[in-house]
Structure formats: structure tokens, C-alpha cells
Structure 1
Amino acid sequence: MRVLVPDLPDFRELRVEGVEFAFYSRDHAPEGEAEGLVLWLATAELRGELLRRSGLGWVLTLTAGIEHVAGALAEGVALYNAHRLHDRAVAVHTAAGMLAAERGQHRFRDAQHEGRWAPTTDLGTLDGRQVVIWGYGHIGRILEEMLTPFGARVTGIRSRTPQAERDAALSGADWVVLLLPSTPETRGLVNADLLARLKPGAWISNQGRGNLIVTADLLAALDSGHLGGAVLDVTDPEPLPEDHPLWSRPNVVITPHIASTTADLFARGAEYTQAFLTELVGGREPEGRVEPGRAY
């Protein structure tokens, strides 16, 4: 079985009996047919070329979201994602942002840059905070396990959660954590109407997709003082232009879509690929199969 994989040092070390590896880089794709594709870190142009490769029977994208792949797959090509590769890091990143915001770390960093000693008593913890995790899947369950020891009271909601139950949870939330994929149903879901129904002082944390939130409406809710703040690993647009107003809001913490990034990510990606291929070659169904029409 010939498999296309990223040309990274950790992937060069892969050895699986019955598998011939062919390596692609950002500016080069090897010739010839391939039965499988491990997709990661490819440009849009290269991704399209790889997904059209003759003989392709399956694709493993080493991401959790698959919206960049699903619409480009030929009929009959099996698709797998790698949520387990990223789940824990995203949960840790989310919890860290919430704890830092409660303790005012972003304000103290701003004061540090200005050389100000700025003690304050206006600090909180997660003890007793009502946290709504919207998109309660693998990451959401790990995040709940992390937040519970800090005293947070977690409610998970999904797309199938009844509207009345969802509205009740959101209206009482101190934190709304977004872990949703980008779909026609979720884009722009957090708009002026929804933000107005959150209680004053609530915080938004988005590690899903930037276009879940209407950015102009978020800015308006921040500027009015209705929202306590926002922790954003994803934005719309992304990346943010240098002059975008979100940069200057003191109660907004922005990270550049790196919630799943760790120093050993490439090594873990190679290990994940090794395990996936071992299962496949052994005649077993690997985990992560994504059914047509799903975004995660």
C-alpha cells in the first residue's frame, strides 16, 4: 500500500510492514498513484492536488475539523480525522485561558509592559462559576474534568439540546465556551441577539471556529460593558489584520489558532499515523471515521 505523508523528520522514521511511504512538502508532491493520504500542513493548492490523486481509497486528516477536506473528496473515499491527537491540548489551552482571565493575568501583563505596579482586588476564581460548554464532545468532556476541581459548575450543550434547555443554560452562564465546528447552522450563531441574552459580565471563550461569532456584534457587546471579556484562539477574519479593533480591547485575550499546538505535536502526529496504519494493515477499522455530512 502506497501512502502519501508529510515530509517531516518524524514521519521519515515511520516503518509499517506492507506500507510504502511517499513524502510531500509544501511545494512538492511525488508522482504516481496512492491508496492512502495522511493530510497535514498542506497549502490549499497542494491539498486539492493530493485529494485528486488516482487510486485514493482513504484520507486521514491529522486535524479534528474536516471542513477543509469533506467537500473535495471523491465518492467512495473514506475519511478519518484525528481528534484524539488534539483533544487534551485544546482542553488545557481553554482551561488555562479561563483561569488566567479570572485572575486578571492579561491586565497585569498590560501593566507590566507599561512598567506599572497595579495591585487590585477585582479578581476571581472559577469556584461556583457556571460554565456552558457549547459543543460538548471529546474536548468538552476532558475540559469538564479539568474545570470541576476548580469548583466550576459545567453544563454541556449540543446541537440536539432542546432550545429551551439551551437558552436557560446560556442565560445563567458566567462562561460560554465554544467548541463547535463551522457549518451552515453554526456560522454566526453568536450574534447580537444571543449576546444580549447572556447575563452581564459573562465571558466568551472560543476554541471552535472564528466564524461562530459575528465579530462586529462581539465588539459592540464588549464596548457596551455587557460582556466581561473574551478569550479567542480563533477569529473572523483570521488572521486578524494589524489594525483590527479586537487587538486593542483590554478585556480580549487572543492567541493565533494554536490551542492544539505542543512542542511534541509532530512526534505525536507521527505516532498517531503509525498506530492508524498498523490497524489498517492488520485488517481492523481505525478510529476516527467521519461519516459523510459531518463537520467533526
Structure 2
Amino acid sequence: MRVLVPDLKEFRTLRVEGVEFAFYSESQLPEGEAEGAVLWLAPAPLRDRLLTWPGVKWVLTLTAGIDHVAGRLPQGVTLYNAHRLHDRAVAVHTLAGMLAAERGLHRFRDAQQQGRWQRTLNLGTLDGADVVIWGYGHIGKILEDLLRPFHARVTGLRSRTPAAERDAALAEADWVVLLLPSTPETQGIVNADVLARLKPGAWLSNQGRGSLIDTGALLAALDSGHLGGAVLDVTDPEPLPEDHPLWQQPNVLITPHIASSTRDLIARGAEYTRAFVEAMAAGREPAGRVEPGQKY
């Protein structure tokens, strides 16, 4: 079996019996057919080339989301994702943002940059906080486990949650964490009406996709003071332009879509690939198969 993998030193050391690894980069592509392709860190033109590579029967994207691949995969090619590679890092990043916001670290950082020693008693914890995880899947379950020592009360919402039950949970939430995928049904799902349903002072955290939130409605809710603040790892638009008003919001913490990033991510990605290809070579079904219509 021949498999296309990114030309990175961590992947150069991969060894699986019966498998030949062929290495690709933006500047150089191997010759010949391949049965599988592992997508990672590839710009769109290169990604599209790999998806249609001669002989490819399966594609593994080393990402949790699949919107960059959806609609581009040729008929008959099986898609796998690698949500397990990223789930815990995203959950940890989400918790870190919540704790930073509760302790007002963003305000102290602003004061630090201005050389001000500014004390305040208006600081919180997550003790007794009502946390709604909207998109209660792999990451949401890990996040719930991480929140348990902080004595937060967690409610998980899924796509099948009845609207009345969902709205009741949102109305009581101190935190709403968005972990939904980007689909036609979820685009703009957090709009002015949803934001108005939240109780005054509630915080919003988005580690799903930027398109989940109506950005104009978010800015209005922040400006009015109705929303306590927001922790955003994803935005709409993305990247966020340097003159965008979200940058100037004092109660917004923004990270540039790096919730799943860790210092050992490439090494872990290579090891994930090794185990995946080893299963394939042995005739076992690897984890992460994406069924038609499935969303991440």
C-alpha cells in the first residue's frame, strides 16, 4: 500500500510493514499512484490535487472539521477525520478561556500594558455556574469532565434537543459554549433573538465555527452590556481584519483559531497517522470514518 503524507520530519520516520510513504509538499509532489492520502497543513490548491490523486481510495484529514473537504471528495473515496487528535486540547483551551474570563485576566493584562496597578473585587469562579454546552459531542463530554472539579452545573444540547428545552437551558446559562459544526442549519444560529434570551451578564464561548454567531448581533449585545463577554477562538470573518470592532471590545478574548494547537501536535499527528495506516494495512477499520451526511 502506498500512502501520501506531508513532508515533515516527524512523518519521515514513519515505518509500517507493507506500506510505502510518499511525501508531498507545496513545492514538490511525488510521482505515481497512491491508495491513501493524509491531509494536513496543505493549502487549498494542493489539497484539491491530493483529493483527486490517481488510485486514492481513502483520505484521512488530520483535522476534526471536514468542511474544507466536504463536496470536494470524488465518488467512491472514503473520508476519515481525526477528531480524537484534537478533542482534549480544544476542551482544555475552552476551560482556560472560561477561567481567564472569570478571573478577569484580560482586564489585568490591559492594565499591565498601561502600567496601572488596578485591583478589583469583581472577580468570579465557576463554582455553581450553569454551563450550557451547545454541541455536546466528543469535546463537550471531555469539557464536562474538566469542569467537574470546579463544581459547575453542565447541560448538554444536541441537534435533537427540543427547542423549548434548549431555550430554557439558554435562559439560565451563565456560560454558553459553542462546539457545533458549520452546516446550513447552524450558520447564524446564535442571532439577536438567541442572545436576547440569555440572562444579563452571561458569557459566550465559541470553539466551533465563526459562522455560528451573527457577528453584528454579538457586537450589539456586547455594546449594550447585555452580554457579559465572549471568548472566541473562531470568528466571522476569519481571519479577523485588523480594523474589526471585535478587537476593541474590552470584554472579549480572541485567539486565532488555535484551540487544538499544542507544542507536540505534529508529533502526535504523525503517531496518529502511523496507527491509522497500520490498521488499514492489517485490514482493520480505523476510527474516524465519516458517513455521508455526517457533520463535524
TM (normalized to structure 2)?
0.99
Question: Aligned equivalents of 2:112 and 2:151: distance in 1?
Answer: 29
- Alpha-carbon deviation of 1:30? 1.8
How many Å separate the matches in 2 of 1:39 and 1:195?
37
Counterpart-to-counterpart distance in 2, 1:122 and 1:72: 50
Q: State the distance in 2 between where 1:175 and 1:287 align.
A: 32
Cα deviations across residues 129-182 of structure 1 (Å, max 9, x unaligned)? 000000100100000000111011000001111111111111110000000110
Task: Tell me the amino acid that sits aligned with residue 262 of structure 1.
Answer: T
Deviation of the 1:29 alpha carbon: 2.2
DSSP-derived class of the 1:71 partner: coil
Matched residue type, 1:40: W
Output the amino acid matched with 2:115.
G
Give the Cα separation in 2 of the matches to 1:111 and 1:65.
Answer: 37
In structure 2, C-alpha distance between the alignment counterparts of 1:243 and 1:151, rounded to whole Å: 39
1:108-127 equivalences under 5 Å are 108-127=108-127
Post-superposition shift, 1:32? 1.9
Q: Once the 2 structures are TM-superposed, how far is the Cα of residue 31 of structure 1 from its aligned partner?
A: 2.4
Shift of 1:62: 0.2
Aligned partner of 1:178 in structure 2 is 178
Question: Deviation at 1:64?
Answer: 0.3
Deviations 1:116-139, CA, capped at 9 Å, x for gaps: 000000000000100000010010
State the one-letter code of the partner of 1:258: I
2:237 & 2:29 partners in 1: Cα distance? 30
Give a deviation string over 1:91-137, Cα, whole Å, max 9, x none: 00000000010000000000000000000000000001000000100
Distance 1:16 1:123 in 2: 53
- Hey, what does 1:57 align to over in structure 2? 57
1:252 aligns with 2:248: no
Q: Which residue pairs with 1:169 in the alignment?
A: 169
Aligned to 1:234: 234
Query: CA–CA distance in 2 between the matches of 1:259 and 1:29?
Result: 30
Q: What are the residue-to-residue correspondences of 1:1-296 with 2, within 5 Å?
A: 1-296=1-296
Separation in structure 1 between the aligned mates of residue 70 and residue 35 of structure 2, nearest angstrom: 17
1:258-287 deviations in whole A, cap 9, x for unaligned? 000000000000000011011111111000
**Aligned-partner Cα distance in 2 for 1:128–1:73:** 46
| 3-state SS of paired residue (2:123) | coil
- Return the offset for 1:294: 1.5
Q: CA deviation at 1:67?
A: 1.1
Structure-1 separation of matches of 2:228 and 2:70: 37
Secondary structure of the structure 2 residue equivalent to 1:230? strand
Quote the sequence identity (%): 78
Unaligned 5+ runs, structure 2: none
Deviation at residue 70 of structure 1 after TM alignment: 2.2
User: Secondary structure at 1:231's aligned position in 2?
Assistant: strand
Whichever residue aligns with residue 74 of structure 1, its letter is: P
Q: CA RMSD in A?
A: 0.7
CA deviation string 1:189-241 (max 9, x = no partner): 01111101111000000000001001111000000000000000000011111
CA distance in structure 2 between the partners assigned to 1:6 and 1:45 by the alignment = 15
Aligned amino acid, residue 44 of structure 1: A
Mapped contact 1:80–1:288 kept (Cα < 8 A): yes
The answer to whether the 8 Å contact 1:27/1:46 transfers is no
Could you list the per-position Cα deviations for residues 67-99 of structure 1 after superposition, in whole angstroms to 9, with x for gaps in the alignment? Answer: 111211111111110011000000000000000
User: How far is the alpha carbon of 1:25 from its aligned partner?
Assistant: 1.1
In structure 2, how many angstroms separate the alpha carbons of the residues matched to 1:28 and 1:219?
Answer: 44
Contact 1:6 1:24 in 2 (8 A): yes
Aligned equivalents of 2:157, 2:54: Cα separation in 1: 41
Instruction: Give the count of matched residue pairs.
Output: 296
Code of the residue aligned with 2:60 in structure 1: it is: L
Measure the CA separation in 2 of the matches of 1:44 and 1:166: 37
CA distance in 2, matches of 1:137, 1:27: 38
CA contact (8 A) 1:70 1:292 kept: no
SS at match of 1:4: strand
